[in-house]
Chain A
Amino acid sequence: GNSVTQMEGPVTLSEEAFLTINCTYTATGYPSLFWYVQYPGEGLQLLLKATKADDKGSNKGFEATYRKETTSFHLEKGSVQVSDSAVYFCALRIPINTNAGKSTFGDGTTLTVKP
């Protein structure tokens, strides 16, 4: 089956520190990969995505590269801010025969950034 494994949290960093959140996956077929972010009291929202090997997704200073050889999609940011404090979810999506796609999510990593 399909699965996503994320680095366990919580992660606590000081402002301007470098962030890495590890994500590895197993999938049947060729998935698209996503990072979602969830702020307190809100639903998940897309942060970035990559749809094929070696693609790099980027948004708001965050980046992740689709590594097919290591089945990984690690999230990085060079300098975190207090406003980045949230829960981050790695997810994959594979096509299914009804053309609708099936998503699988990791368990999330809580990031707290202190001033």
Chain B
Amino acid sequence: EAGVAQSPRYKIIEKRQSVAFWCNPISGHATLYWYQQILGQGPKLLIQFQNNGVVDDSQLPKDRFSAERLKGVDSTLKIQPAKLEDSAVYLCASSHSAGRTHNSPLHFGNGTRLTVT
């Protein structure tokens, strides 16, 4: 099966600029996640979608971050305006949502490395 697709792979922007990331999950995966991974740390959940509805966005800095998954398939994550501390790898992941779904592993894309200067 095709994996989780993310673009772009790398992005360099200046602080206060805006940036958008795109993710296409594995076909048939209803749950989609955006994670922020700062160098030397584990992934931290930003937002979780079930189909096109938000399940958890409690850790999303809503004053500057937004995400959407309008048709329940692909998703975009936007940062506006960016800050220096937003420099990180942004990972998209997807998983099955059927039955005992907490047993299902996450399938990750290769991520977008964002550098804010």
Contacts and interface: CB of A to CB of B under 8 A. Distances in A.
Interface of A: 4, 31-32, 34, 36, 41-46, 49, 51, 89, 91, 93-96, 98-103, 105-108
B91 A44 contact: yes
A70 to B, nearest CB: 21
A52 B109 CA distance: 27
Interface string B87-117: 0000101010100111111111111000000
Interface of B: 4, 30-31, 33, 40-45, 48, 50, 55-56, 91, 93, 95, 97, 100-111
A109 to B, nearest CB: 10
Nearest to B104: A101
Contacts of B107: 45-46
Nearest to B32: A100
B55 A43 contact: no
B31 A103 contact: no
Given A44-B91, A45-B108, A49-B103, A100 B42 contact: no
Contact of A43 (B100, B104, B105, B108): B108
A108 B109 contact: no
Given A43-B4, A105-B43, A107-B42, A99 B101 contact: yes
